[in-house]
C-alpha cells in the first residue's frame, strides 16, 4: 500500500466516526413544532373544560404532555405578544408595538422588533436547525421573520396553512433537527367558519341558517345587533350565540389541520423526537366586561366588550399553553394550575431542546420549576395596549391590578376567589398596596432597560389591505 493510500485510510478511520457522531447528535436533538393559534381563548378548548368538541387533536397533545391552566400573555394583541413569545422579552424591552400615553392601532403605525432582541428562530438556526414558518398575520413579518430559512406569509385559511406546513416538513433533511412555526389566524376576525365545522359544533343547527351569520363574522351591524356596542345584554344573546358558534367552528377547523401535521410528523418518524407546542398570543372578549369597558370609554373606535387590544381582563390575557415531547417524560401527563407568563416560553423551550439561551432575556427557564412538587404561581405582567391608555396589568397569581404606570388603579381582583374578575376591589387599593407597588416596580424596571425605539414599520398597500380585513386598520 502506498503512502498516499495509507494516509487516506487513516483519514477515513479518524473522520468516519466523527461524522457518525455528528449525525447521531443531530438526530438526537429534538425538533420543535409550534402551533401558534391567533386569538385563541383557553376556555374554548375541550381540554380546558369547554363543553363543545372543538379540539380533539389538541386534547390528544394535552393528554400526553403538560397543559398549563393559567398561562398569561404579555400583551393583548398579536405583534407585541408573539414578539415576547419568540424573544423572551416583555414588549417594552423588545420594542415591537405602539408607544405613547394613548394608542390607536387603527391609525398609528407600529414599530418593528428591536435589532437588540434575538429571536428563537435565530438562536435555533445558529444551533444548526432547519427553520421554517407558515404564518397568516402580517404583524409577524415586522421582525419575527428573522432567523427563518423558509418564511411564507399569506392571508390564508387553515387548510392552506396545513398544506404548506406538511410540504415544508416533507422537504426537511434527516441530518439536522428542524423548527417549524405553524401559525393559524382563523379564530381572529373575520370568523368565517366553513359550514361542516359549524354543523359539528352547533348542536341545534340554529346558527347555520342565522340571517345574521354573515354580519357576525365581524361583530354584527348597527342595523341589527352590533356586539361592540351592546347596552342591553339580553337583546344581544342570540347574536352572541351565533358569534361563539362561528368562533368555535374556526377552532375545530384549525384543530383538524393540527392533527394532519401531527400525522405527517408520525409518517416521517419524527413525532417522538419533536417538542410540540400549542399556544396563542391572546384571547378574545365576548361581552364579559362590556359594561365596565363602556363606562371606561377608552377605545377610540367606540367599541367595548368584544375583540381584543383594548382591555387587560382575563378573557384576553389567559391563553392556552401545552407542551408535549422530549424532556417532559417524567412529568406527563400533567396539568399545571399555577400561573406562568409566556415570557418564560423561549428559555424553557430552549432548555428542553438542549440549546443555550441568549443573554438579555426577561424570561426564565422554568424546567426546574415544572419538576418541583411545591410550585408556586409566578408573577405575570401584561402591557402594550393597542387601543386606549397605556395601562398595565400585574398579577402574582392571587391578586391582580390593572393600572396606569403612575399608579392610577382602574380595577383590582382577587383571582383565586374570583377567577372571572367580576368583583372589582380597586377601592381597597391604596398607595401602600403590595400588588400595586410590585406592578409599578416592574414597570419602572422594564422601562429603564428599554432599547432605543425601533423603526416604524413600513406597510405597503397589500399589508394595509390585509390589516383592514382583520379589523386592525379603519
In a domain, 262, yes or no: yes
CA distances from 160 to 173, 182, 185, 266 (A): 23, 11, 12, 20
- Answer whether 190's CB lies under 8 Å from 217's CB: yes
Q: Is the pLDDT of residue 59 over 70?
A: yes
CATH classification at residue 269: 3.40.720.10
Q: Is the pLDDT of residue 430 over 90?
A: no
In a domain, 12, yes or no: no
In a domain, 118, yes or no: yes
More confident residue, 192 or 435: 435
- pLDDT computed for residue 48 by the predictor: 98
Average pLDDT, stretch 454-466?
A: 84
**pLDDT confidence band for 332 (50 / 70 / 90):** confident
In a domain, 224, yes or no: yes
Q: Is the pLDDT of residue 21 over 60?
A: no
∠ at Cα 241 (301, 303), nearest 5°?
5
| 3-state secondary structure string across the chain | CCHHHHHHHHHHHHHHHHHHHHHHHHHHCCEEEEEEECCCCHHHCHHHCCCCCCCHHHHHHHHCCEEEEEEECCCCCHHHHHHHHCCCCCHHHHCCECCCCEEECCCCCCECCCCCCCCHHHHHHHCCCEEEEEECCHHHHCCCCCCCCEEEECCCCHHHHHHHHHHHHHHCCCCCCEEEEEEECCCCCCCCCCHHHHHHHCCCCCCCCCCCCCHHHCCECCCCCEHHHCCCCCCCHHHHHHHHHHHHHHHHHHHHHHHHHHHHHHHCCCHHHEEEEEECCCCCEECCCHHHHHHHCCCCCCCCCEECCCCCCHHHHEEEEEEECCCCHHHCCEEEEEEEEHHHHHHHHHHHHCCCCCCCCCCCCCHHHHHCCCCCCCCEEECCCCEEECCEEEECCCEEEEECCCCCEEEEEECCCCCCCCCCCHHHCCCCCHHHHHHHHHHHHHHHCCCCCCCECCCCHHHHHHHHHCCCCC
- pLDDT computed for residue 223 by the predictor: 73
- pLDDT computed for residue 427 by the predictor: 94
Average pLDDT, stretch 343-350?
A: 98
Record the cell numbers describing residue 454, joined without a space.
Answer: 425601533
Q: Is the pLDDT of residue 124 over 90?
A: yes
Q: Who contacts 232 (Cβ-Cβ below 8 Å, separation ≥6)?
A: none
Domain of residue 215, residue span: 32-469
Measured between alpha carbons, how far is 134 from 139 in angstroms, rounded to an integer? 13
Q: Who contacts 24 (Cβ-Cβ below 8 Å, separation ≥6)?
A: none
Average pLDDT, stretch 429-455?
A: 91
- pLDDT computed for residue 112 by the predictor: 95
**pLDDT confidence band for 18 (50 / 70 / 90):** very low
In a domain, 20, yes or no: no
- pLDDT computed for residue 23 by the predictor: 46
Q: Is the pLDDT of residue 168 over 90?
A: yes
- pLDDT computed for residue 203 by the predictor: 63
Average pLDDT, stretch 216-236?
A: 84
- pLDDT computed for residue 5 by the predictor: 53
- When mean pLDDT is compared across 183-197, 390-404, 435-449, the lowest value belongs to 183-197
Q: Is the pLDDT of residue 25 over 50?
A: no
Average pLDDT, stretch 112-134?
A: 97
In a domain, 17, yes or no: no
What's the domain count of the chain? 1
Q: What is the pTM of this model?
A: 0.92
In a domain, 23, yes or no: no
What are 62-76's pLDDT values in tens digits? 999 999 999 999 999
Average pLDDT, stretch 21-50?
A: 85
Q: Is the pLDDT of residue 471 over 90?
A: no
Amino acid at each position: 500500500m502506498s503512502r498516499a493510500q495509507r494516509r487516506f485510510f487513516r483519514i477515513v478511520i479518524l473522520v468516519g466516526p466523527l461524522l457518525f457522531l455528528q449525525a447521531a447528535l443531530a438526530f438526537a436533538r429534538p425538533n420543535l413544532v409550534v402551533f401558534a393559534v391567533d386569538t385563541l381563548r383557553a376556555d374554548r378548548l375541550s381540554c380546558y373544560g369547554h363543553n363543545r368538541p372543538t379540539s380533539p387533536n389538541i386534547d390528544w397533545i394535552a393528554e400526553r404532555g403538560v397543559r398549563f391552566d393559567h398561562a398569561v400573555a404579555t400583551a393583548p394583541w398579536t405583534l407585541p405578544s408573539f414578539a415576547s413569545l419568540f424573544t423572551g422579552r416583555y414588549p417594552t424591552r423588545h420594542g415591537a408595538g405602539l408607544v405613547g400615553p394613548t394608542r390607536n392601532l387603527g391609525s398609528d403605525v407600529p414599530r418593528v422588533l428591536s435589532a437588540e432582541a434575538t429571536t428563537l428562530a435565530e438562536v435555533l438556526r445558529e444551533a444548526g436547525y432547519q427553520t421554517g414558518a407558515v404564518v397568516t398575520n402580517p404583524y409577524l413579518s415586522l421582525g419575527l421573520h428573522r432567523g427563518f430559512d423558509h418564511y411564507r406569509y399569506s392571508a390564508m385559511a387553515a387548510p392552506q396553512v396545513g398544506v404548506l406546513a406538511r410540504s415544508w416538513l416533507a422537504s426537511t433533511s434527516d441530518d439536522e433537527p428542524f423548527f417549524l412555526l405553524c401559525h393559524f389566524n382563523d379564530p381572529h376576525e373575520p370568523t368565517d367558519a366553513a359550514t361542516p365545522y359549524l354543523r359539528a359544533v352547533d348542536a341545534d343547527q340554529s346558527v347555520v341558517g342565522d340571517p345574521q351569520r354573515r354580519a357576525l363574522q365581524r361583530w354584527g351591524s348597527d342595523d341589527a345587533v352590533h356586539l361592540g356596542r351592546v347596552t342591553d345584554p339580553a337583546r344581544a344573546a342570540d347574536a352572541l350565540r351565533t358569534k361563539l358558534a362561528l368562533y368555535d367552528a374556526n377552532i375545530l377547523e384549525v384543530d383538524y389541520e393540527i392533527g394532519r401535521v401531527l400525522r405527517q410528523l408520525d409518517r416521517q418518524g419524527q413525532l417522538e423526537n419533536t417538542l410540540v407546542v400549542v399556544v396563542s398570543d391572546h384571547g378574545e372578549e365576548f361581552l364579559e366586561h362590556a359594561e365596565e369597558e363602556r363606562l371606561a370609554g377608552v377605545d377610540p373606535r367606540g367599541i367595548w366588550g368584544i375583540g381584543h387590544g383594548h382591555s387587560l381582563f382575563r378573557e384576553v390575557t389567559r391563553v392556552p399553553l401545552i407542551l408535549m415531547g422530549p424532556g417532559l417524560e417524567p412529568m406527563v401527563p400533567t396539568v399545571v394550575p399555577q400561573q406562568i407568563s409566556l415570557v418564560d416560553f423561549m428559555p424553557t423551550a430552549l432548555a428542553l431542546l438542549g440549546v443555550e439561551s441568549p443573554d438579555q432575556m426577561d424570561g426564565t427557564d422554568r424546567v426546574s420549576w415544572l419538576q418541583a412538587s411545591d410550585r408556586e404561581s409566578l408573577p405575570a405582567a401584561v402591557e402594550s395596549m393597542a387601543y386606549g391608555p397605556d395601562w398595565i396589568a400585574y398579577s402574582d397569581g392571587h391578586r391582580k391590578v390593572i393600572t396606569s404606570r403612575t399608579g392610577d388603579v382602574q380595577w383590582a381582583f382577587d383571582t383565586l376567589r374570583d377567577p372571572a374578575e367580576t368583583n372589582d376591589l380597586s377601592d381597597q387599593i391604596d398607595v401602600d398596596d403590595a400588588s400595586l407597588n410590585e406592578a409599578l416596580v416592574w414597570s419602572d424596571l422594564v422601562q429603564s432597560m428599554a432599547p432605543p425605539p425601533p423603526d416604524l414599520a413600513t406597510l405597503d398597500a397589500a399589508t394595509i389591505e390585509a390589516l383592514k380585513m382583520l379589523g386592525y386598520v379603519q
